[in-house]
Structure 1
Amino acid sequence: MERVDEVIEMRSDAAKQRADLLQLMLEAASREHIKDKNDDVDEQYIAKKLTYDEVVANVFLFMVAGYETTSTALAYCTYVLANYPEEQHKLQEEIDEYFSQNENETDPDYDVVNRMPYMDMAIKEVLRMHPIALSPVINRECTQETEVCGIKITKGAIIQPDVYSIHFDQELWGPQDVNGFCPERHLTKRHPLAFTAFGVGPRNCVGMRLALVEIKILLTRLLKQYTIVKTDKLEENLNITELTVITPSEIYIKLEKRQQ
């Protein structure tokens, strides 16, 4: 929290401002005390403003929420790649291709990892097979009575989609077997609500880009030097639990140093 306070103070210098979530919140914030409507009818209050305490709290939550979800997604990535060595080899070839063209580069940056199409498809396919967010996270409230596919939905009803039913729907994700790992399936344009790993609509995951970049950079650095290999214990403790996220108890993999 203290570190967040330091960054906010640093952003008071116009030269150090950046176009990101924190800057947007700071622009919507006020250092003045914000009174509630009912505090004092004679006092004016500031509407639609964040307090600086709220900015700090939101940044803190943004970072905390991003750690477990990202590490869990990476764990699933290692699990899937260990089970599908051919697809892992394709991913390594894409990574090697970049480094062969940029011999002076040592660490991949934001622009680099976003120019790797197979990397993007592979991560999306992992998240299709192993979604992180719990179904209640992407629920919605019906604002007016409506009918969808012959089903009447009353105003105020809470709609809570089953992520697994959507992600493993053969009609939505075919013709390839939905139980198999096939990154190329993401080359086909699907229904906009077929992929709900980060939620959907205007209230989807605000940290989606940050999470994807973190995963891509780590996988790029890891697979450049190592190959992920199955072990006898790979399936031993993959017990899925639903706490703050959908996570496995443990995943056992082996890393082999690459020769080149």
Structure 2
Amino acid sequence: MSKTLHSDEVVSNVFLFMIAGYETTSTALAYCTYILATKLDIQDKLIKEIHEIKWNNYNNEDIYDIATNLRSLDLFVREVLRMYPITSKGQIRKCNQTTNISGYIIEKDSIIQPDIFSIHYNPNLWGPEDPNLFIPERHEIKRHPIAWMPFGVGPRHCIGMKFALMELKMCLIQLLRQYRILPGDNIEQGFKRQEKIVIQPDAIYVKFEKHSI
């Protein structure tokens, strides 16, 4: 086996890094802005939490630690990713040997793909509140370890999960420190999702209003 990379391998991996590292995060951020613009009470709660921080006492290197400890922001991001998972294809696996799981025989070379939407909207996993409602506080309750899987689960889960979550939080912190996000014209009409490489809306129409403080 050659120890050098062929140009096709380099190109394909760079493409994968771009899709996995940027397209997914930008799509998740788009969903976040949609929720913030359409649920102003939730946005006000996040703004209040962020504005309670005495930013003059910190430098840019401290934002990581701050973002880690913003509880409402963490619950918000997790609920966004529950209701709007970025991809369903990332969880596809190939069975490398015939196995029996709870009485079900899975043949070697079978392709397995969990139905992430059925899992994320299962009332038995996410009740007693209606899973179709956006309720960040539902994540304060301990759930089944595989009830939330926007990044996959197990040893093959997304290696960039922690980085992606922190990237989202730090971006939202900087955004909400300066602006209030309001719904733009035709926001619902633009919010039509389709799955290509990722599951993304056609467009998110929002307006930004500078804070007066």
Tell me, yes or no, whether TM beats 0.5.
yes
Does residue 118 (structure 1) correspond to residue 72 (structure 2)? The answer is yes
TM-score, structure 2 as length reference: 0.88
Matched residues in 1 for 2:194 and 2:31: separation? 13
Matched residues in 2 for 1:110 and 1:81: separation? 22
Report the residue type matching 1:112 in the other structure: I
TM-score, structure 1 as length reference: 0.73
Q: Is the 8 A contact 2:24 2:86 kept in 1?
A: yes
Q: Is the 8 A contact 2:98 2:105 kept in 1?
A: no
Matched residues in 2 for 1:156 and 1:51: separation? 27
Instruction: Give the 3 Å change call, closer, same or farther, for CA 120–84 of structure 1 in structure 2.
Output: same
Structure 1: segments with no counterpart, 5+ residues:
1-34, 37-48
How far the C-alpha of 1:206 sits from its partner, in A, is: 1.4
Matched residues in 1 for 2:65 and 2:11: separation? 29
Map of 2:47 onto structure 1: 92
Map of 1:257 onto structure 2: 210
Map of 2:127 onto structure 1: 174
Map of 2:199 onto structure 1: 246
Matched residues in 2 for 1:86 and 1:167: separation? 23
Higher-Rg member (1/2): 1
Report the residue type matching 1:95 in the other structure: I
Aligned-pair identity (%)? 50
Does residue 235 (structure 1) correspond to residue 200 (structure 2)? The answer is no
How far the C-alpha of 1:51 sits from its partner, in A, is: 5.8
Tell which has more relative contact order, 1 or 2 (C-alpha 8 A, sep 6+): 2
Report the residue type matching 1:118 in the other structure: S
Map of 1:81 onto structure 2: 36
More helix by share: 2
Task: For residue 109 of structure 1, give the secondary structure of its aligned residue in structure 2.
Answer: helix
How far the C-alpha of 1:104 sits from its partner, in A, is: 3.3
Matched residues in 2 for 1:64 and 1:152: separation? 34
Structure 2: segments with no counterpart, 5+ residues:
none
Report the residue type matching 1:87 in the other structure: I
Matched residues in 1 for 2:198 and 2:85: separation? 9
Q: Which of 144, 159, 164 is the matching residue for 1:206?
A: 159
Map of 1:137 onto structure 2: 90
1:64-122 alpha-carbon deviations (Å, 9 max, x no partner): 52111111000000001112111111111111112x2x423364622221111211111
How far the C-alpha of 1:156 sits from its partner, in A, is: 3.0
